[in-house]
Structure 1
Amino acid sequence: MKRNIDNAEHYNWGAECDGWILSPRPEMMVIQERMPPATAEKRHYHNVARQFFYVLSGELTMELDGTYHSLPSMSGIEIPPLGRHQARNDSGADVHFLVISSPTTRGDRVDLE
């Protein structure tokens, strides 16, 4: 089935962020997310899941194990299992990105701080 944000399952997270589940499979989950300016997720890690964040538009800041990475559109970063990370939007515009997780992160997230 063709998927996009118009027909995918939608959820809100954080204060003002959006997520659309494009592929809900247990072996690989694909989510498109939108973060408005000045938003951030809770710093966390996953015991098993490996993730890849790919920026579609805007600029995402990813903190991974204490190092900050600026990710402009059409670039991404891999997060290994146990990698402590936090996605942030430090810019003045929305950022849209894909999060590909293998396997799914459902039940595999440990929040920090």
Structure 2
Amino acid sequence: MNDFGNDPTRVINTESAEHYLWGKQCDGWHLVKQDGLSVIEERMPPGTSEVRHHHVRARQFAFVLEGELTIEVEHHDFMVRPGEGIEIHPGQSHQAMNRSGRDIRFLMISQPPSHGDRIDEV
């Protein structure tokens, strides 16, 4: 028995996490999926991007594990390399892109979770 209520403590990775596909060829794994916090590991192949969007409530932090992530925030491009991260405030327009020749792996941490809080900007 642990001191964490009814939720058992466990080790989680991309093999055991809930997986989903997004965009044209990108992967996401829900490492933490709670009411107040979301931690997703994402993989973006070369040449992929997401739709420019913003979140009404969610504050996000993207932390790069492998590769070089280009993220446009409020019409300014930022290059985020392994061991670096960038915070995205609620209401800020942003778009993640892989302009490199190799896969990118990064963590997207959102508080509260960003699913259902996204407004695409077309």
Q: TM-score, normalised by structure 2?
A: 0.92
List 4+ stretches of structure 1 deviating above 6 A.
none
Q: Which ranges in structure 2 are unaligned for 5 or more consecutive residues?
A: 1-9
Matched with 2:84 is: 75
Q: 1:11 aligns with which of 12, 20, 45?
A: 20
Matched with 2:37 is: 28
Deviations 1:10-35 (A, max 9, x none): 00001100000000001010000000
**In the alignment, residue 95 of structure 2 is paired with which amino acid?**
Q
Q: 2:115 aligns with which of 103, 106, 109?
A: 106
- 2:49 is the alignment partner of 1:40: yes
**CA–CA distance in 2 between the matches of 1:22 and 1:52?**
15
Shift of 1:44: 0.2
Q: Percent same amino acid at aligned positions?
A: 50
State the SS of the aligned residue for 2:100: coil
State the SS of the aligned residue for 1:39: coil
Higher strand share: 1
**CA–CA distance in 2 between the matches of 1:17 and 1:33?**
7
Q: Which ranges in structure 1 are unaligned for 5 or more consecutive residues?
A: none
Q: TM-score, normalised by structure 1?
A: 0.99
Point out the structure with max Rg over C-alpha. Answer: 2
* Alignment RMSD: 0.5
Q: How many residues align?
A: 113
- 2:101 is the alignment partner of 1:92: yes
**In the alignment, residue 69 of structure 1 is paired with which amino acid?**
F
**In the alignment, residue 48 of structure 1 is paired with which amino acid?**
R
